[in-house]
Amino acid sequence: MASETPTPPAAVGRFGRCLGATVVAGLLVVACSKQQESPASAGTDTPGDSRGAASNQLRERDMSGFSIRSSAFEHQGSIPVKYTCQGDDISPPLEWTGVPESARSLALIVDDPDAPDPAAPKRVWVHWVVYNLPPNQTGLPENVGKAPGEARDGINDWGRTGYGGPCPPIGRHRYFHKLYALDTVLADVGRGTKAELEAAMQGHILAKAELVATYQKTK
């Protein structure tokens, strides 16, 4: 004999009506919550989202048009011997455009991250450091000796000021010409090493442009 007794028809009717009302109410709650989440706001960054702010800053920098080039070689191209230790060892001509209007100075660092051997790099070798270039300056001519005007020369990894050309002991190295637009004129950079300049620039970089070229000794 079955242990559960059948439910009277009247009770079944009342139960069905209650269940239906509950389901309808639940669907209304879901629908309202979907309407509150508009498609325009879904997936966007809120003002308090630091990741969103960083992304916006990167987009602004990409749109600034700030760039650096050389008439002596192409980006990712080979540096002519003239500008290396196997040639005249003079600085190449550099030009830049798109300096932000709010910039108060520019800084230039040229370095090689592949020293001594690109197959087993151990350090970054600094070839040139210049800072406090005026923001209205549009480039540097070939064979710069002392930094022009109010600009200042930093110390390269030969322990001297000015430009030192590529002189890789082995393999083809990359040479990064990095130009920074700053919101200030730097007052205290110590001896002007790359590390000291980078520390002084912290919090003042408005935009950065980069030109990369390579060199391998011919003999």
Choose from 18-22, 26-30, 188-192 the range with maximum mean pLDDT: 188-192
Going from N- to C-terminal start, the domains of the chain cover: 58-215
- The three state secondary structure string of the chain is CCCCCCCCHHHHHHHHHHHHHHHHHHHHHHHHHHHHCCCCCCCCCCCCCHHHHHHHHHHHHHHCCCEEECCCCCCCCECCHHHCCCCCCCCCCEEEECCCCCCCEEEEEEEEEEECCCCCCCEEEEEEEEEEECCCCCEECCCCCCCCCCCEECECCCCCECCCCCCCCCCCEEEEEEEEEECCCCCCCCCCCHHHHHHHHCCCEEEEEEEEEEECCCC
Q: Which fold has domain 58-215?
A: Phosphatidylethanolamine-binding Protein (3.90.280)
pLDDT of residue 87: 97
- The reported pLDDT for the residue numbered 181 is 98
Categorize the per-residue pLDDT at 110 as very low, low, confident or very high, splitting at 50, 70 and 90: very high
pLDDT at site 76:
97
Q: What's the pLDDT at 119?
A: 97
- pLDDT digits 0-9 by tens, 71-91: 999 999 999 999 999 999 999
Model pLDDT for residues 127-154, shown as the tens digit of each residue: 999 999 999 999 999 999 999 999 999 9
What is the pLDDT at residue 73?
98
